[in-house]
Amino acid sequence: MNVITDRSHKHRNDCMTFLRVCLKSNLQLLFRHALSLIFFFIGNNGSLVTATSPDDLFLKANGAFVSGKYAEAIQDDETLLKHRCYSVPIFYNLANAYFRDGKVGFAILNYERALWLAPRDADIKANLQLARHRAGLFESTPVGWQALPGILRLDTWTWLVFLTFVFLCAAWSIHMFKMDVKWRIRPWMIFFGLLWIVSLVSATVRVFDLNRGVILIPEAALRIAPLDNSPSFFNLPVGSIVHIQKQRDGFFYLRTQDGKMGWVLKKQMQPIVPRT
């Protein structure tokens, strides 16, 4: 199977920008998780500070990719990202360029970012799986209820939590004060109640996914302390998914999917959701 290289996606003028909410205390974190009101991205109409417009630079990157100039395509797409022109086409195209250039860790990172914004895109999923196989990663794909949170974006789940709660409250009010229609309202109360629970759990899972990151280089050292001379006890494979716990002095403290905990240099790993 060959990597999909279609770069004809239309670039959006209203570039999407990531929003990473800074939580100052555990109480604030619990409050936001309970309400599921953390939104992942906001619209951004900013333009580049250079003379080249985002659309022109996007097309220039496309042309470079088609011509096989992958390093140039990467540079142009990265320039767009530096100015917060975040969109699915840019992440997808950048991932394809990194894949063709042999930088599979950066390819997986940008496929993951594109998939975060478009969780049901079949092309992104296929290319991400191909990149993982190229890196020697054969992780099991979530199925059934485990896959449910990943079918929608965090903001969509958040709106579902809010709307189902409103409908649930309305149905409960009618049930309490309209005695003659109780038997007809009760099934709707059950339906909206179950949908609210599913939406709340899924939104909470997506909130915790905000702390995921990708290892960018082969054999990244997992250290016991945030020091350059600290001994390592495990090497992380390129492209592997980790969960960021905290950061300090140029290091991330993270947890691997098999439960190992340690420090890794920031330049060796990047969060899937860029931090502002």
Q: Note the pLDDT of residue 116.
A: 94
Are 45 and 3 spatial neighbours (Cβ–Cβ below 8 Å)?
Answer: no
Q: Note the pLDDT of residue 19.
A: 36
Helices marked H in 86-181? 88-100, 104-117, 122-134, 154-177
Q: Note the pLDDT of residue 64.
A: 92
Are 121 and 115 spatial neighbours (Cβ–Cβ below 8 Å)?
Answer: yes
Q: Note the pLDDT of residue 173.
A: 83
Q: Note the pLDDT of residue 36.
A: 32
Q: Note the pLDDT of residue 276.
A: 62
Are 103 and 94 spatial neighbours (Cβ–Cβ below 8 Å)?
Answer: no
Name the CATH superfamily housing domain 212-271. SH3 Domains (2.30.30.40)
Show pLDDT as tens, one digit a residue, over the chain (276 residues): 455 555 444 444 333 334 333 333 333 333 333 333 333 333 333 444 444 688 888 899 999 999 999 999 999 999 999 888 889 999 999 999 999 999 999 999 999 999 999 999 999 999 999 999 999 987 766 667 778 888 888 889 999 999 999 998 888 887 777 766 667 778 888 898 999 999 999 999 999 889 999 999 998 999 999 998 999 999 999 999 999 999 998 999 999 988 999 999 999 999 999 876
DSSP 137-164: --PPPP-GGGGGGGGS-HHHHHHHHHHH
Q: Note the pLDDT of residue 179.
A: 63
> What one-letter code names the amino acid at 166?
V
Q: Note the pLDDT of residue 4.
A: 55
Helices marked H in the chain? 26-35, 54-66, 70-82, 88-100, 104-117, 122-134, 154-177, 182-209
Q: Find the helix packing angle between 26-35 and 182-209, rounded to 10°.
A: 140
Q: Residue 253: beta bridge partners?
A: 246, 263
- CATH class, 16-134 region: mainly alpha
Q: Note the pLDDT of residue 25.
A: 31
This model's pTM is above 0.95: no
